[in-house]
């Protein structure tokens, strides 16, 4: 009996530091989950950095990962079209936390008001809601709140810890937002125009009064029509767009063709739907800083 008691005591520290197993749908929400969860969570991302969640196909290994998790963190707003099938295949009985649950989503109508999108085939988009809410740091602050509440539900003993970490992260995000607002405000309104691969930046555009144009719709599996691309080329020439970017997880051939025909130079890379193995976008904070810095430099 004494030996059994000794074994139990020896195991207690191991049990106390067992981490909450969390599966995140893709790299950006995985990073937010790690920021909020800290040392109490073990986060695995299904869609890796530099991979495209729009065209992701879950594997049997992904089914096993989710089956072993206690919490499934997703973006929501229709971003993960494969989520329900995966949850069913894994017979997932844990807690699903929707990061964007408190976000006021932009609709495609609002996109048109903010961004003057042309040449999109919206037949392949996510419906009326735009899921790319993380391009506004104020929304990521809401993500942090949702994750803190979800983790506290799955791990009540860590509730205060999660809340404290979420508050600290939110303070950083709001500071980042203030810096971005000041940076873009220094650019004349007529120069805040951007051409990029697909329509992922409407939240950035709405928050900082920018205009984004893209040959594809909000999903990278959308096909840009020849008529739409021709209209976009005319628009880029007419409006003298100087900020032209490809994206880290998108095929850049269409944008290269468009930039050649419009007579504009591709200025570099933006990080849209995924983090990167590259240090400039290894976390959400780094991704956002890199994007804003690149855009401001090109617009000047």
Give the residue-averaged pLDDT of 222-228: 61
Residue 105's nearest CA partner among 86, 139, 130 is 130
Question: What values do phi and psi take at 9, rounded to 5?
Answer: -60, -40
Residue 189 buriedness (CB in 10 A; 0-12 / 13-18 / 19+): exposed
pLDDT over 50 (residue 288): yes
pLDDT over 80 (residue 15): no
pLDDT over 50 (residue 140): yes
> What is the three-class DSSP state of 154?
helix
Give the residue-averaged pLDDT of 162-180: 98
CA–CA distance from 4 to each of 8, 9, 10, 11, 17 (Å)? 6, 9, 10, 11, 21
User: What's the confidence (pLDDT) of residue 151?
Assistant: 98
Q: Considering the entire predicted model, what is its pTM?
A: 0.81
User: What's the confidence (pLDDT) of residue 48?
Assistant: 95
Q: Kindly report the average pLDDT of the chain as a whole number.
A: 83
Q: How much of the chain exceeds pLDDT 70, in percent? A: 72
Let me know: does 242 contact 145? Beta carbons within 8 Å: no
Most confident option among 43-52, 124-133, 196-205, 212-221: 43-52
Residue 12 buriedness (CB in 10 A; 0-12 / 13-18 / 19+): exposed
Distance CA 160, CA 213 (A): 43
Q: Which domains does the chain have, with CATH numbers?
A: 188-299 (3.40.50.1980)
pLDDT over 50 (residue 161): yes
User: What's the confidence (pLDDT) of residue 268?
Assistant: 75
Residues whose CB falls within 8 Å of the CB of residue 60, separated by 6 or more in sequence, listed in order? none
pLDDT bin (cut points 50, 70, 90) of residue 80 is very high
147 against 8, higher pLDDT = 147
Let me know: does 77 contact 130? Beta carbons within 8 Å: yes
């Amino acid at each position: 009996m004494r030996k059994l008691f000794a074994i139990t005591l020896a195991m207690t520290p191991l049990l106390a530091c067992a981490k909450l197993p969390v599966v995140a749908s893709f790299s950006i929400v995985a990073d937010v989950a790690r920021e909020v969860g800290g040392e109490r969570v073990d986060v695995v991302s299904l869609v890796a950095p530099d991979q495209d969640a729009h065209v992701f196909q879950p594997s049997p290994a992904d089914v096993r990962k989710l089956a072993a998790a206690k919490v499934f963190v997703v973006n929501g707003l229709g971003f993960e079209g494969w989520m329900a099938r995966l949850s069913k295949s894994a017979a997932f009985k844990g807690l699903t936390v929707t990061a964007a649950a408190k976000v006021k989503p932009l609709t495609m109508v609002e996109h048109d008001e903010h961004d003057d999108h042309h040449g999109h085939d919206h037949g392949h988009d996510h419906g009326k809601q735009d899921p790319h809410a993380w391009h506004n740091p104020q929304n990521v602050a809401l993500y942090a709140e949702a994750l803190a509440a979800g983790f506290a539900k799955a791990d009540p003993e860590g509730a205060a810890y999660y809340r404290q970490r979420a508050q600290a992260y939110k303070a950083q995000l709001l500071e980042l937002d203030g810096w971005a607002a000041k940076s873009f405000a220094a650019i004349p309104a007529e120069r805040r125009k951007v051409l990029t691969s697909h329509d992922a930046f409407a939240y950035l555009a709405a928050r900082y009064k920018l205009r984004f144009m893209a040959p594809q719709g909000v999903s990278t599996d959308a096909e840009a029509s020849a008529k739409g691309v021709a209209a976009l080329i005319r628009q880029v020439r007419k409006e003298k767009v100087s900020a032209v970017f490809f994206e880290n997880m998108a095929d850049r051939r269409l944008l290269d063709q468009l930039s050649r025909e419009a007579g504009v130079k591709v200025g570099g890379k933006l990080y849209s739907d995924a983090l990167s193995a590259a240090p400039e976008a290894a976390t959400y904070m780094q991704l956002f800083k890199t994007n804003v810095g690149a855009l401001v430099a090109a617009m000047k």
